[in-house]
Amino acid sequence: MPQFVIDKTIRLEINGSSQRIRLCAEREGLPPILVVQAGPGFPLLHEVKKFQQRLNLEKDFMVSYWDQRGCGIASRQDAKSVSLQQQLDDLRAVLHWLKNETGQTVIAFGISLGATLALQASEYERDSVRAVVAISPDAHTASSDAAVSSFLRAQSVIAKNRRLSPKLMKLGDPPYTTPAAFQLRASLLADLGGIERGKKFSALLRETLLGLIGTYGFLGMAKAMRNMNLIQRKLLPQLASLDLFTDPPRLLMPVHYIFGEQDPLIPAEIVKQLPEAITSPEKTVILISNAGHMVHFDQPEVVRSIFLSARHEK
């Protein structure tokens, strides 16, 4: 790993909660990126090394890794205070802080639910955001749930997997508004290659737990997992009605949408309709082969090239 001139973790007081953000860059003065993590309830600081190994963005940017409200080793009170509106308000505050901290406009790097929040927040933080890179944004939960159900049923027939059918029966029909159902569905999708290509759920879980222990310690790992469940209990019922098409953001900066061809969570109509619905002066839409929901980990070089192009946008 390269040595960074900037590598510091800052504690921020954001809208009444204590949050942590780690800033990394190979040299001073690089344009800032804010990583808005997938969710709900997923921390980010434990994945910094993975981002750096795969994407190597610190060579050309100052990358800001932000543990959102209630995530990681945050207090139980902070985890219980989470809502979609609160996450949006927090993101706006962090974008504004980062722009003032660096004196430069920010590239918002949103992943899944984080991409949804980045698109929404950037409508209001026009003076803070240079561009949005949206990886697999959640846009319409009902459509995504229907697509996933169809995918899982089809895989059960194709694979003739005796273990899959009883799990599908246990999962039941959408919406999935409890942590148990949400996590079971995630495990099924991971085992079928829909999250990261070539990684089963057991491998992803082991990687996550080791990363959490390395970053927060054993007690911190337990707290992070507790917080994830608390946040999911709060947010999953709210996410069931998520619909970006009802009031699509109107943006004044370029937006780069990136989707994985093997992502069962994003149906083809969303890939087509979402960029058309959201107003922006410039947009690119890239559908990447051999990539699941976590496109930035499956095809990091392609994603990195998009950031290098976005670096010169004003």
Portion of the chain with pLDDT greater than 70, in percent: 97
Question: Rounded to two decimals, what is the model's pTM?
Answer: 0.95
The span from the CA of 51 to the CA of 65, in Å, is 10
* 61-93 tens-digit pLDDT: 999 999 999 999 999 999 999 999 999 999 999
Angle of CA points 307, 310, 312, to nearest 5°: 125
Q: Which amino acid would we find at residue 22?
A: R
pLDDT above 90: residue 231: yes
pLDDT above 60: residue 255: yes
Question: Cβ neighbours of residue 150 under 8 Å, at least 6 residues apart?
Answer: none
Block residue for tokens 């619905």: 277
pLDDT above 90: residue 164: no
pLDDT of amino acid 89: 98
CB 56 within 8 Å of CB 102: no
Question: Cβ neighbours of residue 78 under 8 Å, at least 6 residues apart?
Answer: 17, 18, 69, 70, 227
Tell me the mean pLDDT in the region 34-50. 97
* 97-149 tens-digit pLDDT: 999 999 999 999 999 999 999 999 999 999 999 999 999 999 999 999 999 99
Token pair for 179: 């942590």
pLDDT of amino acid 165: 81
The span from the CA of 108 to the CA of 283, in Å, is 14
H-run or E-run covering 160: none
pLDDT of amino acid 310: 84
Q: How far is CA 132 from CA 109, 216, 254, in A?
A: 6, 30, 6
3-class DSSP state for residue 306? Answer: helix
Tell me the mean pLDDT in the region 2-14. 92
Instruction: Choose among 136, 123, 142: nearest CA to 39.
Output: 136
Token pair for 152: 């899982």
What burial letters (b/e) apply to 156-165, b meaning 16+ CB within 10 Å?
beeeeeeebe
- State how beta strands 129-135 and 62-67 pair: unpaired
pLDDT above 70: residue 161: no
Per CATH, the homologous superfamily of domain 6-142+200-310 is Alpha/Beta hydrolase fold, catalytic domain (3.40.50.1820)
Token pair for 238: 């709210």
* 171-221 tens-digit pLDDT: 999 999 999 999 999 999 999 999 999 999 999 999 999 999 999 999 999
CB 188 within 8 Å of CB 167: yes
Give the phi and the psi of residue 67 in degrees, each rounded to 5. Answer: -80, 110
pLDDT of amino acid 155: 86
Q: Where are the alpha helices (DSSP H) in 109-200?
A: 113-124, 141-159, 164-171, 179-191
Total residue count of the chain as it appears in this document? 314
